[in-house]
């Protein structure tokens, strides 16, 4: 078991996310899954469908992080430029992958496998294919970069298929206390609890519901005993301030 | 009217977004509002609550973009380190703002204005305050950086209050055709339409609903006449391929 957990970066590629037309849902999914695997998601960047941007960010993230995930831009249309840009980032050619064609042939009837669709079997040379059980055309991996679709249902299928390629660390355990108290009331007490140990991180996430503010207090650690102790203290803090506990998640996986 | 529209970057600050515990909703809101204002959202970065990261990214974005928006980490608890980090990024002190205290006094009854809450009136020296009609404590602007809350309802109130500080460009008009055809079928025809002019960008956004793939084709331009022409061609393309038009948005603001 390594002392330092692996880290990761995500590159979201798509004008539609930046324009607000499409709500990104992939970051939250990847973030949650990586946490379960004990891999730290360190940074996410959202960039437009521009070759120069994709090349630049993929090179940078590939050097900086253990694992990189890109989402978006691997479909068959003129604005799908991710595959070609990834190949350029790694100075390799795009070639039609026989393996990818085979997988797509199993997925589509003969007359459905049009030339436009087959474009999705054009993959950077030497890339490792990742299964896509939703729409057939595979994702792929070049060095430490996993290149995934943007459509959430397809991205999830691809992500679940690639997990075997990742080295996991000790899982990060979480616990939480959700209360109707405001952050202002909790601030001093929470700060005191945080000071007891740095091995349990305590985050405070205010929300606004039915016209009222409340806080979800989230504790994280790889050390179950410490997590349990700190969680108890937070629960007692809320009670001592006469707050309601709206929801509580105990320190188990 | 300037030829080059203003550009912007967003820095989302928060471990809870990276861990997938909280779904970010602010990027889509800011992206949409900026588009209406004719300002291009060029890049978004999501970073953890770490001082060194905040300082680094704020300095970088402040130089690179006309406008920068940060979200998250300006509450009263121990993990709210954005304000102090922004001050460090610009080498100024954090001071209690009399103006901010005044605004909060109007918002809260006397006994509600606790010391923890008053911490939110501690603002980088020289910052300009931005109204917050939801929870009182103001947002602020240092140079070209707008520092906003993370809770979506509060962020929106702050964003709507800061618009007067932005220089707008000609609005980017959009139109769309949503169809049950797949991208593969549309690819060649769409590419031909795109080639007619670069002044209308055409994006194709596949979706997956009730087990079926479909595509939303979105056109954007500041030129209404060109947008209208290209939109007609896309509509005709879908019909010629015997696709259903599920939804259509005509080129008007």
Residue A240, chain B, CB below 8 Å: the answer is no
H or E element: which one contains B153?
helix B152-162
Tell me, what CATH number does A128's domain have? 3.40.980.10
In a 13 Å sphere around the CA of B38, the CA atoms on its Cβ side amount to: 15
Please tell me the predicted confidence (pLDDT) of residue A3: 58
Total structural domains within chain A: 2
In this structure, the answer to whether residues B177 and B229 fall within a common structural domain is yes
For A54-73, letters b (16+ CB in 10 Å) and e give: bbebbeebbeebbbbbbbbb
Looking at residue A11, what DSSP letter applies? E
- CB within 8 Å of chain A, chain B residues 93-132: 114, 116-117, 119
**Quick check: A27 and B17 CB within 8 A?**
yes
A32 touching B (Cβ < 8 Å) = yes
Quote the CA–CA distance of B17 and B23 in Å, as a whole number.
6
Neighbouring-strand partners of residue B147: B70, B140
Statement to judge: residues A140 and A233 lie in one domain? no
Residue A1 pLDDT > 50, yes or no?
no
**What ipTM was assigned to the predicted interfaces of this complex?**
0.90
Does one domain contain both A96 and A131? yes
Range of the domain at A206: 173-249
CB contact residues (below 8 A), chain A span 62-81, against chain B? 75-80
Q: Flag if A23 and B22 touch (Cβ within 8 Å).
A: no
Is A161 a domain residue?
yes
- Cα–Cα distance between B140 and A132 in angstroms, integer? 46
- Residue A205 sits in a domain whose CATH number is 3.30.70.600
Buried-state track B218-252, b at ≥16 Cβ within 10 A, e below 16: bbbbbeeebbbbbbebbbebbeeeebeeeeeeebe
Classify residue B36: in a domain, yes or no: yes
pLDDT exceeds cutoff 80 at A4: no
Selected for mutation to probe chain B from A13, A37, A76, A188 (highest B CB count within 10 Å) is A76
The encoded tokens of residue A151 equal: 């459509």
For A3, other C-beta atoms within 10 Å of its C-beta total: 6
pLDDT digits (tens, 9 = 90+) for A174-206: 999 999 999 989 999 999 999 999 999 999 998
pLDDT of residue A253: 56
**Three-state DSSP class for B193?**
helix
- Nearest CA distance, A92 vs chain B (angstrom): 25
On whether both A144 and A89 belong to a single domain, the answer is yes
Which residues touch B165 (CB under 8 Å, ≥6 apart)? B128, B130, B141, B146
Determine the residue of chain B that is closest to A77 in CA distance: B187
Note whether residue A1 is domain-resident: no
pLDDT tens digits for range B184-242: 899 999 999 999 999 999 999 988 877 788 999 999 998 999 999 999 999 999 999 99
**pLDDT 10s digits, A144-168:** 999 999 999 999 999 999 999 999 8
Mark which of A165, A188, A213 sits at the end of a domain: A165
Contact A41 B18 (CB under 8 A): yes
Q: Are residues B26 and B87 in the same domain?
A: yes
pLDDT digits (tens, 9 = 90+) for A48-89: 999 999 999 999 999 999 999 999 999 998 889 999 999 999
Residues 6+ apart with CB under 8 A from B214: B178, B179, B180, B181, B182, B206, B207, B208, B246
Cα dihedral: A27, A28, A30, A36 (round 10): 150
The verdict on residue A2 lying in a domain is no
Residues A105 and A206 in one domain: no
Residue A190 lies in a domain: yes
Instruction: Please check whether residue B191 touches A, CB under 8 A.
Output: yes
Cα(B151)–Cα(B158) distance, rounded to whole angstroms? 11
pLDDT band at A252 (very low <50, low <70, confident <90, very high): low
Residues A204, A160: Cα–Cα separation, whole Å: 30
DSSP state of B46: E
Q: What is the pLDDT of residue B135?
A: 86
In a domain, A183, yes or no: yes
Q: Is B85 exposed, middle or buried (0-12, 13-18, 19+ CB in 10 A)?
A: buried
Predicted local confidence at residue B252, as pLDDT: 65
Please list the ranges in chain B whose pLDDT falls under 70: 1-3, 252-253
- Of the three residues A144, A165, A186, the one that is the final residue of a domain is A165
pLDDT averaged over every residue in chain A = 93
With beta carbons under 8 A apart, name residues in chain B contacting A60. Answer: none
CA distance A211 to A216: 16
Q: Is A25 on the interface with B (CB under 8 A)?
A: yes
Chain A interface mutation, best of B8, B25, B77, highest count of A Cβ atoms under 10 Å: B77
Q: Which of B116, B140, B165 is where one domain is finished?
A: B165
Mean pLDDT value across residues A236-248: 95
């Amino acid at each position: 078991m390594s002392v330092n957990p692996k880290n990761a970066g995500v590159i979201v590629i798509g004008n539609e996310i930046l324009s607000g037309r499409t709500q990104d849902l992939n970051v939250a999914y990847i973030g949650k899954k990586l946490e379960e695997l004990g891999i730290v998601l360190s940074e996410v960047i959202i960039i437009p469908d521009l070759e120069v941007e994709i090349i630049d960010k993929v090179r940078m993230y590939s050097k900086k992080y253990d694992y990189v995930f890109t989402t978006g831009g691997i479909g068959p249309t003129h604005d799908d430029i991710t595959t070609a840009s990834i190949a350029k980032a790694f100075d390799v050619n795009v070639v039609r992958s026989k393996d990818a064609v085979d997988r797509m042939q199993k997925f589509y009837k003969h007359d459905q496998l049009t030339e436009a669709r087959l474009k999705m079997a054009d993959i950077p040379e030497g890339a490792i294919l990742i299964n896509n059980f939703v729409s057939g055309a595979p994702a792929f991996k070049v060095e430490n970069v996993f290149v995934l679709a943007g459509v959430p249902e397809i991205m999830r299928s691809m992500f679940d298929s690639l997990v075997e390629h990742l080295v996991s660390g000790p899982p990060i355990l979480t616990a939480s206390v959700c209360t109707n108290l405001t952050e202002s009331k909790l601030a001093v007490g929470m700060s005191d609890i945080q000071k007891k140990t740095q091995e349990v991180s305590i985050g405070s996430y205010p929300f606004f519901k039915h016209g009222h503010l409340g806080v979800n207090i989230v504790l994280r650690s790889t050390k179950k005993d410490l997590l349990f102790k700190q969680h108890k203290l937070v629960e007692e803090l809320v009670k001592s301030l006469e707050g309601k506990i709206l929801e509580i998640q105990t320190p188990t996986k």
